[in-house]
Amino acid sequence: HAPFFLDCDTGIDDALALAYLLGAGANLVGIGSVSGNTDALQGARNTLDLLAMAGRPDIPVALGLHDPQAGTYAGGAPHVHGYNGIGEVQLPESGLELARESAAELLVRLARENPGTLGVIAIGPLSNIAAALRLAPELPSLVREITIMGGSALAPGNVTAAAEANIHNDPEAAAEVLAADWEIVLVPLDATMCHVLEEPDLEALLGSEQGAVRAVGAMLGHYFNFYLGVFGRRCSAMHDPLAAAIALGRVELLSAPYARVVVDTTQGPGRGQTICDLRGLYKGSPKPAGSRCRVVLDADPGAMAEIMRGALR
Ligand code: BDR
Ligand code: CA
């Protein structure tokens, strides 16, 4: 089983992604926490407590950056994820401790220990990943592939008209990570907004024999309420679990052209936008010279079933 490093801002859909990865038998060798949906420390607590509930206290969780490269942490998204990041659900306190390394240091160490095999799954702002690149500029040659939930290619943004939350929360970091020379699979809103969890899925999670899975179900009630305003019905887009399932190779990619992607780091209305050069679509998307970044525009609609199966296992 290929080893994976997960970097997240846990977060309701992050929690489901974690449940999915564990249930699907992914070999998670380390987890980093970054500010996004909630602050990095609260996100790490959420992750540790969930791991304890899932019977996986052995997976190291490292604290990552509180602030983005430019400015300071803006305070999360309580209207989406609750004040504690997990819809105000109170998990049993595990007392598990953080790793002694920072998230960036843990990622670099694991990449050096697993050269050419480590997969990275980044489902929060890219602050820790950019920090790791600065710490070890050779990181791209050590990592097998990085799968990123973030951005929007042709779809609208979700925090502004142009920008998706993970990229908007640290555009400078995202620009660095997307400019680095490694195999990137970018999973933007174009794909994730089409993979939606519905009421029967929520019921299935709430009926699980596993406490950790029931807890994730309880969190999702909060997420469903937010998405009522987006989709006009109670349901929720499953951004992070889709990226996780794609990283495991469990989801067929129906359209994932290679494209150069740059991030708008200006202070204007486009700040945080991922500008994906998809002009090749008109001629069948040949791989542009030098491009190692695929942009997932469409993925097998059966992905949610795989994710639910994984989570419920
Ligand atoms: C992304 O932002 C966060 O709110 C979610 O956890 C997901 O990673 C979606 O834009
Ligand atoms: Ca996330």
Reported confidence tier of residue 70, pLDDT bands at 50, 70, 90? very high
Ligand 2 ion: Cβ-proximal residues, 5 Å cutoff: 9, 11, 14, 123-124, 240
Residue 132, pLDDT score: 99
Q: Tell me, in angstroms, the distance from the centre of ligand 1 to residue 151's CA.
A: 10
- Cβ atoms of 273 and 263 closer than 8 Å: yes
Q: Alpha-carbon torsion 218, 223, 229, 233, what sign?
A: negative
Q: pLDDT digit string (tens) for 82-106?
A: 999 999 999 999 999 999 999 999 9
How does DSSP assign 11-43, residue by residue?
A: -HHHHHHHHHHHHTT-EEEEEEE-SSSS-HHHH
* Share of residues in the chain with pLDDT > 70 (%): 100
Distance of CA 136 to the CA centre of its chain: 22
CA distance 85 to 75: 11
Contact call for residues 61 and 98 (beta carbons, < 8 A) = yes
Ligand 1 atom index nearest CA of 189: 10
> Residue 284 Cα, ligand 2 centroid: separation in angstroms?
32
Q: Is the dihedral of CA 87, 88, 90, 93 positive or negative?
A: positive
For residue 38, give the nearest of 94, 91, 88, 81 by alpha carbon: 81
Q: Specify the long-range contacts of residues 209-215, CB closer than 8 Å, at least 24 apart.
A: 210/53, 210/54, 210/312, 211/53, 212/19, 212/50, 212/53, 212/54, 213/19, 213/23, 213/311, 213/312, 215/15, 215/50, 215/53, 215/86, 215/89, 215/91
State which amino acid sits at residue 147: T
Cα–Cα dist 110/58, whole Å: 15
The binding-site residues of ligand 1, defined as CB within 6 angstroms of any ligand atom, are 11, 13-14, 37, 77, 80, 123, 149, 158, 164-166, 239-240
Residue 249 has pLDDT above 90, yes or no: yes
pLDDT at 292: 95
User: Nearest ligand, CA of residue 242?
Assistant: 1
Nearest protein CA to atom 10 of ligand 1, as residue: 165
Q: What is the pLDDT of residue 219?
A: 97
pLDDT-derived band at 228, boundaries 50, 70, 90: very high
- Cα(282)–Cα(279) distance, rounded to whole angstroms? 6
Higher pLDDT, 286 or 158: 158
The pLDDT value recorded for residue 289 is 84
Name residue, tokens 């990622």.
Answer: 107
274's CB contacts (< 8 A; 6+ apart) are 150, 151, 152, 153, 163, 164, 167, 174, 178, 186, 188, 261, 262, 263, 264
**Cis amide prior to 119 (ω within 30 degrees):** no
pLDDT digits (tens, 9 = 90+) for 261-310: 999 999 999 999 999 999 999 998 888 888 899 999 999 999 999 999 99
42: pLDDT strictly greater than 90: yes
In this prediction the pTM is 0.98
Pairing of strands 274-276, 261-263: antiparallel
**Chain length of the chain:** 313
Q: What separation in Å is there between the alpha carbon of 282 and the centre of ligand 1?
A: 30
Amino acid at 206: L
